Amino acid sequence: MRVQMLGLCRFSYLGLRGYQVEHDSIAARRAYLYDPDRLARRWLWFTTVALPGWLAQTDPDFTLVIMTGPDLPQPWLGRLQELCDRVPQLQLSLVPPMDYHLQACRAAVAPHVDPVAEVIGHFRHDDDDAVALDYVAATRRDFASVQELWRPEGRLSLDYGRGLMIEARGGKLRITPRICHNMGVALTVFLKPEIPDTALHYNHTQLARWMPGVQISRPLMFIRSIHGDSDSGDMGPGLPWDPEEGAMKRLLRLRFGLARGDLVDLARQLHEAPAGGGTGGGAGGAG
């Protein structure tokens, strides 16, 4: 069975709906999202935390659509274009502001649906989060084990619940291991190809309303970032878990291709950067 892994990452997409931080006009939202200091911080998160895992997936058979507006300021638009030109799995989608956010998400993703796929594994990814290096491979493997649950309705969610919450506040880094339910990152929604939805069409906290779901609590599969530009500024519900003593550096390196020192430097850089741009509304959020 041909399963396409198809994701959507919103990078400061200029839309009025779909985020917890709201604005009254396109002009107000453009000023907020395109603030130069804010965009510099978003780029730091994207390149330091989110990107390494996608560039080193053990299964390279996936597509991640990076959605932004055609008027995203330079140099950020040029940097995204250069990145997507260089990495075949990354596809840049320039979507003008639309009345309804889900229509915009569909417009971004639809051109990239594989016409011969029998199942589409839709996922959302925020530009400041990370998935493990084997997320795509594990998702495809584990879906094969539970695909009979998918067949009756053509809808199924597969959630990896073990992750790390990283907080960057006051120039300091804090890492909290958590097991969460349908956090949104490392969560895949499997749909029949004829269903014209994306992962964003389903509120990840209410997936049971629309489909059966499976959660896998091992191995460690995601990082979720919490900081001043986050769309949601708290961890949400979850359970603690305890890595072996002294194992955090190894886990970051082996599971995500990240160095703890780089995350510490990121927290420091964000604290020292200009404070313009306000708080709230990230890339997914909005990016």
Taking 60 as the threshold, does the pLDDT of residue 129 lie above it?
yes
- Domains of the chain, by residue range, sit at 3-272
pTM of the entire predicted model: 0.93
* Backbone dihedral angles phi then psi of residue 224, each to the nearest 5 degrees: -115, 135
Distances (CA, A) of 171 to 12, 43, 78, 176, 258: 23, 17, 29, 16, 19
pLDDT of residue 235: 87
| Terminal alpha carbon distance of the chain | 33
Taking 50 as the threshold, does the pLDDT of residue 135 lie above it?
yes
Distance CA(213)–CA(192), nearest Å, equals: 15
Do β-strands 155-160 and 187-191 pair in parallel, antiparallel, or remain unpaired? Answer: antiparallel
Other CB atoms closer than 10 Å to residue 48's CB: what's the count? 20
pLDDT digits (tens, 9 = 90+) for 145-174: 999 999 999 999 999 999 999 999 999 999
Distance CA(69)–CA(75), nearest Å, equals: 14
Domain 3-272 = CATH 1.10.3470: no
pLDDT band at 23, cuts 50/70/90? Answer: low
pLDDT digits (tens, 9 = 90+) for 196-215: 999 999 999 999 999 999 99
Taking 90 as the threshold, does the pLDDT of residue 105 lie above it?
yes
Place of tokens 């569909």: 106
Distance CA(113)–CA(103), nearest Å, equals: 16
List 175's β-bridge partners, or say none. Answer: 166
Locate 122 and state its tokens. 């839709």
pLDDT of residue 158: 98
